[in-house]
Structure 1
């Protein structure tokens, strides 16, 4: 897990630099994050929904994963975290199916770091039906159960839904974080003014923007007062 130890160390340094004044202390709409023209429905009730659009073969997604995982854990039950694997081309679809088959088995948290490690550190191919099944078998996962899920109608349905979400959110790069169906940010968006800085600083900037948006949304939700029931008319 060399990549992830180094990534976490880099994120820590990036956070220190940002606290020293390198990041947007007051994130601005249109600069540090974007507001969707049409808000998307969420399914998280009173909690704030946070969705990561990602691609297993994206090196930036792999680098961001440890810090994002730690950030999600820090939020506790304040948020509902979801992931959506994207497909900018048809060749991405096997990895979408990989994610949703693992999700159905309850193994994404366990396997995502291993997949990033295999692709970006060990330089293995895990992007076709054949190479994915070979990789899964090496992980000690029930190959038949995985294969059945991988080819299932349920997974196919989720893949189609992922494409619909990708289009609805107008995702043009990954990783991208959607918050409450309204806002988009990412290391490349929040760190646009840090083009010459280490990627870790851009990642830390995006986490700070995400914190800002959560605080903003929590305040808005707290300000929403329930509609009082109409009082019965007094008898004359």
Structure 2
């Protein structure tokens, strides 16, 4: 009987140790995420601002989109989510203008996956203004209203703002996610720090876990 008690006690300790080792480690500054050298102001009140820097042509952004969108939906009222389409080459400017036009028309989130699919599945490069206009019309958007918005001062200003934000947030690759104007992470960074995240889905899951941590951290710091 005494032996049985000792055996059960040892088994319980072993189970506890396994549970502790299996639990995810707390993300570390400088590893899974970094603190920006110059924090940027946010306008999200008590909610946590989350910004994704991405590009339609970027295959890693395309791959990350479903996981990130599901995470944003799960966060609900905890966060204010924004996207910034990054500048790159001259032939990607129409895609950048497409995003900011959709955003100005209140259609960016609704059509996000459709634009990604147009480029990566349908092989529509969207690298000319006319190609963008045709895509918009094909997807039920008033063509003239779209063109007017696409060519507006407002969209031109958003392009300039995107360039400035790249510098402010020290964005050098994408997708990258900024939390509360202070913390930066990405699937690449979180996955590399995790060590065992060898596939892209594993890297994305590592990034989602880091985002959970950073939102909770930022929320606690606002109190």
Q: Give the TM-score band, short-chain normalised.
A: 0.7 to 0.9
In structure 1, what is the equivalent of residue 204 of structure 2?
203
SS in 1 for 2:71: helix
Unaligned runs of 5+ in 1: 1-18, 223-236
What is the match of residue 155 of structure 1?
155
After superposition, the Cα gap between the structure-2 partners of 1:110 and 1:153, relative to the gap in structure 1 and judged at 3 Å, is same
SS of the residue corresponding to residue 191 of structure 1 reads helix
Is the 8 Å Cα contact of residues 191 and 197 (structure 2) preserved in structure 1? no
Please show how residues 33-112 of structure 1 align to structure 2 within 5 Å: 33-112=33-112
| Aligned-pair Cα RMSD in Å | 1.9
- Cα contact 2:197–2:203 (8 A) shared by 1: no
Note the C-alpha offset of 1:111: 1.0
Q: TM-score, normalised by structure 2?
A: 0.86
Residue 219 of structure 2 corresponds to: 218
2-structure distance, mates of 1:51, 1:179: 7
Contact 2:197–2:206, Cα closer than 8 Å, also in 1: no
CA distance in 1, matches of 2:138, 2:196: 39
Question: Whose radius of gyration is greater, 1 or 2?
Answer: 2
In the TM superposition, what is the alpha-carbon distance from 1:129 to its structure 2 partner?
A: 1.1
Structure-2 separation of matches of 1:23 and 1:123: 42
Q: CA deviation at 1:24?
A: 5.5
Q: Is the 8 A contact 1:49 1:79 kept in 2?
A: yes
Separation (CA, whole Å) in 2 of partners of 1:209 and 1:172? 19
Question: How much has 1:77 moved relative to structure 2?
Answer: 0.9
Query: Structure 1 length normalisation: TM-score?
Result: 0.81
**Alpha carbons of structure 1 residues 192 and 47: separation in structure 2 relative to 1, 3 Å:** same
Structure 1 residue 22, shift from structure 2 partner:
8.4
Structure 2 residues without counterparts, runs of 5 or longer: 1-18
Residues 32, 145 of structure 1: alpha-carbon distance in 2 compared, 3 angstrom cutoff: same
For the 8 Å contact 1:54–1:84, the answer to whether it is kept is: yes
Question: How far apart, CA to CA, are the structure 2 residues paired with 1:21 and 1:101?
Answer: 48
1:167-200 per-position Cα deviation (integer Å, ceiling 9, x unaligned): 1111111110000000110000101144872100
CA distance in 1: counterparts of 2:33 and 2:163, whole angstroms: 22
Aligned residues: 204
